[in-house]
Structure 1
Amino acid sequence: MTGDQQPFDSNLAAENERLKRALQTADIGTWEFDPINQIVHLDDRCQQLLGVSVPAVVPYPEVLQHVHPDDRVTLQAAISQALRPECEPPFSIRYRLAEPVNGACWLHSKGKAYFDQQNQPYRLSGITQDVTHEIQTQQQLRDSVERFRSLIEQAPVATALFVGKDLVIELANEPILTLWGKGNSALGKPLAEALPELREQPFLQILNDVYTSGIPYQAVADKCDLLVDGKLRTFYFNFTYKPLFDKQGLVYAIMNMAVDVTDQVLARQKVEASEARLRSVITSAPAAMGLFVGRDLIVDMPNQAFIEIVGKGPDIVGKPLRDVMPELDSQPFLQILDDVFTSGKTYKSFGTQVNIVQHGVMTHNFYNITYSPLFDANGKVYAILDIAIDVTERVIVQQQIEESRLQLLNSFEQSPVAIAIIREPDLTFHMANPFYGDLVGRTPAELVGKPLLEALPELAGQGFDQLLREVIATGVPFTAKEVPVDIVRHDQLATIFVDLTYQPQYESTQEVDGDKSVSGILVVATDVTGQVHSRRAIEESEVRYRALSLELEQQVELRTQELAASNEELAAINEELMAANEELAESNQLFTRSNENLQQFAYIASHDLQEPLRKVQSFGDLLKSKYGDQLGDGIDYLERMQSSANRMSLFIKDLLSFSRISTRRDATELVSLTGIVAIVLADLELVINETNAIIDIDTLPVIKGDKSQLGQLFQNLLSNALKFHRDGVQPRIQVTAREMTASDLPPTVKPARAAKQYQCITISDNGIGFDEKYLDRIFQIFQRLHSKSNYSGTGIGLAICEKVVTNHGGAITASSQPGQGASFSVYLPV
């Protein structure tokens, strides 16, 4: 080595040392392969990476044994390629170790080959680095990408990934490709190119804003027009645009998730349109209509007719039906509505009575009602349409018609004349009353439904069937007197005589071929057999009469003389009757004077007996106030004395009332019972409020009578209904009225005066009631069924009621069961 080389070599050694330290700091090992001698020089780091301890020079085949068998051939091929002079890329390869060393699994070797002048390789040197962490990180990233791709592709929801500012469709699963109407050809294209129809819609701008701002976007039931199979169709989606961020926090992609809700939106639109039409129908409908929404039956969309029927004013919308109409709690309609809501089945009723409080007054009208369930898009009931038509007038007319029909049928059944109706075909009996059955010797049941000659075969050959057909054909009535008929009665053939009428009955007032259509024959027959036999007997007796007439004329003169004597006796009897009349007049005067004396005595008794009682009560109050503290136990005796005096005072008042009613003459003025009851309720207002009683009163009639006495009648009956109420039960009293004929009166009711018509007023309560075995006692004076300690009173009230009703020519009775209330019925003649 020359002097000039020493500084250079020194510098090179220093540079090599710095390079070595740098490689060690970077955790990089160096190596050198001698292809001629097939050996490899390894530094310390390479020895650690390969797991070679010593020596530093290792045979090439031995080094290859530390490489994973699957990568060994690849490494050898790369080395062989690097040792070729024509190879341009430098040597670089990644491979696995046969066994991990100190956590190292993957190595990355780089190097360069050196050639001599004959282009023969004599050295391949380079570096080796542990890249296990980098390889694992890349593998995890690839696994994550694959999982993300698989998640998108297998997602049940339509999902796509738009990458970059141009929104390139990187991923799109089958559901979203189906919604777009596109195949896999859309992948890799910008969204605007793959779906050009979106350019006229807001979605591309929304995606651009999400990409720029990084803020997600959500939409519900948003409209979108897509070109599917060459046709532009409208869809509705719930969708989300979610931005995805890289490691630097920048948006690199947007994930789109969408759910097709087109069917739900269209169904909802149909429901909304249906509701709009329904609202229009309800508003303009002449019938009362309204909706009850939800299980709580919230009132919605009531029209004016519905509001008027409910009678609570227009402020009912949004309130539960139970709160709007509490009177329905005691009626079946709330339960029926709940059943309709549960079952989804329509309910209809016709001519149904509904009790409704309209403007503070309880009404009892009749309605045709329809409850129709309304279904949402899921087929569940969400509301009930109520349609109500007021048919009160029609029902009343039908009731009157039915009553008339029943009366007519009753008259038909009870008629003393034999009546039957015979119709085609085959002259069949349609109806027959009992008198007709008696006439022909059969019961009505044996006749009705059978042809004439089958029911009465003995009529064959007598011409009645031909006569009936002639009346049906011509429509001309037939009437005949004393028609002989051979009929089987009591199993024997007998001849009877009848006055017979065949009256045609018409199908309708319309004419058929110019003639009215006869539907049947009304047969009216009167049995005159007795008259015919009597007339014949009279004719036979006329001969005998003429023979006896001479004898009778002789006896007349004798009889005249006897009558003259009888007249003288009658004159004497008349004189005796005149004397008896004078005695009766004197008795009437005495009776009148007796009533006047009784009234005077009642007044004196009332005044003279009440005065000492008032003094007893007054002095008792003074003793109690002044000396109450000194009396000790004596205060109890004083209170008992005052209580007895109070009962005695009440007893005298009731006795005086009873006496006045017994002696007072009937008045004949017209009295409104509605007005009488109103005055009585005003007097009982305090008791009504204390007991929280409910009193329902029908419209009451106007009758002739004594206003004062009728007031006492209803005063006693209503006060008793309030007094005898059950503990813990709200008193409920009902006053009703109805008109009835004398024949409709119960057998036990015997009015004091006979009349054709009577008014029946009934006062019913839900009080303690009584045993009907005491019915004969309760209207007697001083009779009580309950102890004085439990219920106050003198036992005169119902006796006064009975006396008032008798004074007015009527009758009173009662019905009850213990614990189930009582009903008092008053019958007054009209």
Structure 2
Amino acid sequence: MIENTFGINIIPDNDSGRLLALKRYRIMDTPSEASFDNIADLCTKIFKVPISLISLVDAERVFFKANVGMGKVKEANRGKSLCALAVLDPEVTIFEDALKEPCLIANPNVAGEFGLRFYAGAPLITYDGFLIGTLCIIDQQPRVFSKEEEIILKGLATAVMDQIELRLSALEEIGKQQTTNEELIQQKEEVQSINEELTVINEELNESRQNLQVLNENLKKSEKRFRELIEQAPVAISIYSGEELIIEAANARMLDLLGRTAEIIGQPLLKARPELITHPYLQVIRGVLGSGKDHMGLAVKAPVLRLGKVVERYYDVNYRAIKDEWGKVTGVIAVGIDVSEKIASSLRETEMAEELAVMNEELLATNEDLISSKDYLMLINEHLNKSESRFRGILQQATAGIMVCYGKALIIESVNDMMLTIISKSKDIIQRPFADAMPELKGQPFLKLLDDVYTSGLTYIANETKAIVNRNGELVEGYFNISYQAIKSDNELITGILIVATDVTQQVASKKAVQKAEDMLRFSIEAANIGTFIINQTTRVMVASPRLKEIFGYYPDEEMPYDAAVVQISEEHRERVVASVEAAFEKGEDYFLEYSLIGFHDQQLRWVRAVGKLNQYTADGEMYFSGAIIDITEQKQDEQRKNDFIAMVSHELKTPLTSLKGYLQILEQKAKKAQESSAILMHDKASTQVKRMISMINGFLNVSRLDSGKIHIAKECFNMTSLFKEADEEACSTISTHQVVFSQIESAMLNADRDKIGQVINNFISNAVKYSPSGSLVIVNSKIIGRQLLVEVKDQGRGIKPEDKDKLFDRFYRVVNDDVISGFGIGLYLCAEIIERHEGEIGVESKFGEGSTFWFSLPIYEN
């Protein structure tokens, strides 16, 4: 049940229709997918937010298809999720500060521990206008969301919706493919049955060879005609038999495709084509031979001979098992189409239809010959009639449209049901001229192409050809794979044309949808002013976008090799950047860096943020490192101006504070002489506040010096015993609310900046006192571990929440507490910088509610 925490109606009027639209995509409760996770990850980097979600809003819950930054959470209650509000409006829903929104104050995500402050959600809108979910970004800090950012988020949401549509198209295509495979298996069984009957006919013809000499001559002519039709087939065909894959047959197209002669017929496949010994499809052929399961491959790269050299070409291939009457696999028939120039859609239905058409023509010719025989041939004629009927049945069941036309006028002789479906006609078109039966083709190129094929005898094949066809009385646009092949007589005269067509309108629409998604993603990247690159793992050849070239100071149409780009990186960052790229190539590590560079032509200093990752293998078998680079020069300049301002203000504040401290010391002396206890008490409190202010100002100055590289580390050799003693004495004199105990102290010689290491220890003790109950213990320990000295400060405070633990040492990060006022978030940051510059380590161990242990380790000095 929906638990509404917004105080408003979150159910749109069309919710029932919206839920049906969501259901048709079959995406709820599905595992994560890289195509969606990558877009969500890209959102966090573009908008610099910690959380990005792709959500789908169901009847009572919100399912997260992609989740970056929210842990393992997979769903939420619809009544509590802000995504339920985002599907009420087709525009982007934006809450820049949730605490200022009356409808969100009671929401647990806003009022609870999560502390949501900023939310922006762009709805996922289906092609028929339903809002089924959102692409949203979330932050725990208020933000200002510009109009340009809103446009980018909306564009990325459109890319997400395109991915959902493509996913549905892929699921539907898989279903159709399964149906097609079942039809091919049924057709194969039919062909096997026909082969068995032809075997019986052949035995009877042998017993009657004396009386059927004339018939045999006719049959030889028919066989010759049949082989000629096979040779004229527009596809390459070969047959392999036995465990050694003996090449039993191969037509001229196959020999030409392989770059071989007829001498290979009768040889084992590996002897005839030794270049296949390492090719994966040799195992595929053996797999078909062993399992009896057919295999089809699209755009398969394979080595072939061309002018005596082995070259790589691309083919659509279909391997089908040949079985005997007991179902035992005896060989494999291979059909191949060279698609190197243009990788076309699968032509396996066309190949099957052409094979069936040729076999049907042969049966017709054989039937005519047998009819001329007398009573002795009646039984044979009956068998052939059955075979012919069966082949016509197979022809009708073919998944490709097939039509046979004869004569110059192209009179339609036969047409199967699939072709009638494609052209939306009935069988009344048989015995009519093709042009009269298809008046909608007038003005289109197809009638002239048919005439050219009839005149020249050259086969015409086209893929994804656009045609205007009649569908139920309405002219519509469709896309088709078509083949026009001349039918020739024994004396090579053209007698007609075999037309084969496959409707690929849906596949073309899917490709266009993919292109649209790619264009939208490209637009989003360009709108975000991001430069992109791709680097080949093997060759290190880099392809850079025009924006990336501009960032590196190159002209848009100018070449920018990888080595040249590396040279433009500032020398102090260059080695680190190259090492990170190599780590991505060798270990698959993610790449996230900030560095400066000098423009090639303009010699301008720029700061950039770069992200990237190693992509999976592509069709060419290579791996690529791809990524994006954003110009953050203005942001860096703003930070520098801020640091300069902090340094200036801090210096100006130190002068009056120094004077104030001096006046307080004079007042202290006078109060003590006058023995005014209240004045002394007020002096102590004022001095404490002055010390605190001086400490904060020094912290800001140190941050500014760190950023500008001016902080000085003055190393000297000293024994930690003296430093621990000083820290103990200072704690005893300044801390009266807690017990600070130096327990289990092991000392060692260090080569370090003594004052700054003392500053780290005092900061740890000060924080322990600040965040633990009055009267509790603060314990300082030290011990030697290997060649490191480990220093620990333990308190009995409330501990640290998991979400704060990894950010404690970040600059200006403040832990939110109900009963303690946080500082400015620079103390622990300075401690971390000091320890890092001493080549040490720093960290914290804590469990919320059970206290904390802050620690650092430094290398021991060895003579």
Bigger Rg, structure 1 or 2: 1
> Which structure: greater strand fraction?
1
Between 1 and 2, higher relative CO (CA 8 Å, sep ≥ 6) is seen in 2
Provide the TM-score with structure 1 as the length reference.
0.32
In the superposition, the TM-score normalised over structure 2's length comes to 0.31
